[in-house]
């Protein structure tokens, strides 16, 4: 078959010029031969050429045994990496989405309203946490002290009022979540940023907060309960000072807190702070009822005499005896994980200065404390609190009484 085809091709090549010759033609110049190769032959030839190529491609590389080494990665680092990956994934998704102008990915999440009273100065601020829940936000309106807004009452955290009844200054933000239909608005949050100054002449001898928070808080800091409506002028749960205590000055009259009185600049981090209740990224949004106060998350530290044991305020150890103490932490009234601890102050003859949450503080005392006194150890604990990055640091202390045998006469 191949031979016959070859003969046919040769005849075609040699016979074509002769067939094309004409007597009328002057100078005979043969035209370039046109080779007609049957398509079938070309396909067969191509397959023969490709066959070895495929064989080469399908060769599997030799199996090489790579020594596997188990690496213990701290859970904390894993969490950080997972969050970074989530952020990257969100940014990638964000790049694929068409986000309207003025809408940003939330990078600072609302935690609670904070009212701080320092002497005559009362500061209204908003506590945030550097965390991106995957939602979006846009700035709606920045309002000044006493300026009414159509958005009053729309924010789930309300808008507090100064002690004279005027609503505090701040900025309204609208929160969005991304759905298959695009961005869907879910809530409005108010970031308060204001301050007021009481007249010193009208100050009582010992100023006290007008209302104690329901949750434990630093002495001068009140966790504000959102006012359901901005028109509320009652001084009470919002932690503001009663108007009856005297004339008031707003932030424009305050000499020092000018920076604090100015509305926050969301652009400082490249994106405005937004706020939604902590929820899984791109997960179902759980709206926060406007009347529901945002509970603070008090984090405390303590020291126990055994792992998982009850906190101890004071321990008694014999001189020269090696003992182990366990820094502990609690959040929201329940036990929390101590990521790391370090000894801030305290005297011991031999002690570990720092450790992870799984490591105890091991020490011994070779010297007695001065008569009538004890050693006091202070630790700084890094506590894992969900949603708080970086993890908060709290202090824990314990009193150590070093004993020595003595005759009892």
Q: Which stretch binds other proteins (CB under 8 A): 80-88, 244-252, 269-277, 398-406?
A: 398-406
Report whether 147 contacts 178 (CB < 8 A).
no
Q: Is 306 near other proteins (CB under 8 A)?
A: yes
Q: Which stretch binds other proteins (CB under 8 A): 7-15, 99-107, 280-288, 304-312?
A: 304-312
Q: Is 289 near other proteins (CB under 8 A)?
A: no
Q: Is 312 near other proteins (CB under 8 A)?
A: yes
The pair of structure tokens assigned to 350 is 């031999």
Which residue of 309, 333, 386, 387 would you call a contact of other proteins, by CB under 8 A? 309
Q: Is 366 near other proteins (CB under 8 A)?
A: no
Which residue of 54, 97, 314, 367 would you call a contact of other proteins, by CB under 8 A? 314
Report whether 10 contacts 2 (CB < 8 A).
no
- Give residues 57-116 in contact with other proteins (rule: CB under 8 A): none
Residue positions counted in the chain: 409
Kindly give the pairing relationship between strand 121-130 and strand 194-198. Answer: antiparallel
Q: Is 407 near other proteins (CB under 8 A)?
A: yes
Nearer to other proteins, 225 or 400 (CB): 400
**What's the CA gap between 132 and 136, in Å, rounded?**
9
Which residue of 323, 376, 380, 389 would you call a contact of other proteins, by CB under 8 A? 323
Dihedral sign, CA of 112, 118, 119, 124? Answer: negative
Q: Is 351 near other proteins (CB under 8 A)?
A: no
Report whether 191 contacts 126 (CB < 8 A).
yes
Burial class (CB in 10 A: 0-12, 13-18, 19+), 372: exposed
Taking alpha carbons only, the member of 56, 234, 55, 84 closest to residue 160 is 234
Nearer to other proteins, 35 or 406 (CB): 406
**What's the CA gap between 349 and 351, in Å, rounded?**
7
Q: Which stretch binds other proteins (CB under 8 A): 4-12, 19-27, 80-88, 311-319?
A: 311-319
**What's the CA gap between 195 and 116, in Å, rounded?**
9
Q: Is 229 near other proteins (CB under 8 A)?
A: no
Q: Is 406 near other proteins (CB under 8 A)?
A: yes
Contact set with other proteins (CB under 8 A): 305-306, 309, 312, 314-318, 321, 323, 403-408
């Amino acid at each position: 078959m191949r031979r016959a085809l070859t003969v046919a091709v040769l005849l075609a090549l040699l016979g074509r010029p002769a067939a094309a010759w004409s007597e009328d033609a002057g100078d005979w110049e043969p035209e370039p031969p046109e080779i007609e190769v049957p398509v079938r032959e070309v396909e067969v030839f191509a397959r023969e050429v490709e066959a070895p190529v495929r064989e080469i491609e399908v060769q599997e590389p030799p199996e090489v045994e790579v020594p596997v080494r188990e690496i213990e990665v701290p859970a904390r680092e894993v969490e950080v990496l997972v969050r970074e990956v989530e952020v990257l994934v969100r940014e990638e998704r964000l790049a694929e989405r068409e986000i309207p102008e003025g809408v940003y990915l939330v990078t600072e999440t609302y935690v609670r309203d904070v009212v701080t009273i320092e002497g005559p100065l009362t500061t209204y601020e908003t506590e945030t946490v550097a965390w991106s829940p995957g939602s979006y936000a846009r700035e709606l309106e920045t309002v000044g002290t006493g300026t009414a807004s159509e958005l009053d009452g729309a924010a789930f955290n309300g808008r507090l009022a100064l002690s004279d009844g005027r609503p505090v200054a701040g900025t309204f933000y609208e929160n969005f979540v991304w759905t298959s239909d695009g961005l869907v608005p879910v809530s409005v949050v108010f970031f308060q940023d204001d301050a007021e100054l009481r007249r010193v002449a009208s100050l009582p001898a010992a100023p006290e907060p007008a209302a104690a928070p329901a949750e434990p808080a630093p002495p001068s800091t009140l966790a504000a309960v959102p006012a359901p409506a901005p028109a509320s002028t009652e001084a009470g749960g919002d932690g503001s000072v009663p108007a009856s205590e005297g004339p008031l000055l707003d932030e424009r009259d305050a000499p020092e807190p000018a920076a604090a009185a100015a509305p926050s600049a969301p652009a400082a981090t490249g994106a405005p702070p937004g706020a939604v209740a902590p929820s899984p990224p791109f997960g179902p949004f759980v709206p926060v009822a406007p009347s529901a106060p945002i509970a603070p998350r008090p984090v405390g530290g303590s020291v126990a005499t055994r792992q998982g044991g009850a906190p101890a305020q004071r321990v008694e150890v014999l001189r020269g005896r090696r003992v182990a103490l366990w820094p502990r932490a609690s959040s929201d009234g329940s036990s929390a994980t101590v990521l790391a601890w370090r000894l801030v102050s305290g005297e011991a003859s031999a002690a570990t200065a720092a450790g992870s949450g799984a490591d105890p503080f091991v020490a011994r005392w070779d010297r007695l404390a001065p008569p009538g006194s004890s050693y006091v150890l202070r630790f700084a604990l890094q506590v894992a609190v969900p949603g708080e990055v970086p993890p908060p640091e709290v202090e824990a202390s314990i009193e150590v009484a070093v004993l020595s045998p003595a005759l009892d006469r």
